Amino acid sequence: MNTTFISIAIGTAAGLLDILPMILQKQEKSAIISAFLQYFFVSIIIVNINLFGLPWWLQGGLIALAMALPVVVIVAEKDKKAVPIICGTAVVLGTLISLAGQVLL
């Protein structure tokens, strides 16, 4: 299959996986849309990048965490308890995105 199509499919799945708890908690629409877009585009980047010869399972978590840091900075002002949740989710989802990319490509 086409790498672009696969990365879009993975991104859609990762975005939906991330926003499901947010929808159940009835969070703001803007936060839900932002989270979906974050993982949609992070997936495209993770699937299509090779960082310094790092193993695939490490790349995904690092890239997702790095790309989540701007959100963490903004959220930390209002809710410090959310910071480890956002960071942990980024590492786990980033690693799962890498795994999906490895399996499907």
* Number of domains making up the chain: 1
pLDDT at 1 over 70: no
Instruction: Mark residue 27 as left, alpha or beta (left: phi above 0; alpha: psi -120 to 50; beta: remaining).
Output: beta
The pLDDT of residue 54 is 86
At 84, is the secondary structure helix, strand, or coil?
Answer: helix
Q: What is the DSSP letter of 50?
A: -
In this predicted model, what pLDDT tens digit does every residue of 47-74 receive, in sequence order? 888 888 888 888 999 999 999 999 899 8
pLDDT at 39 over 80: yes
Mean pLDDT of the chain: 90
Q: What is the DSSP letter of 40?
A: H
The pLDDT of residue 63 is 93
Structural domain range at position 74 = 3-104
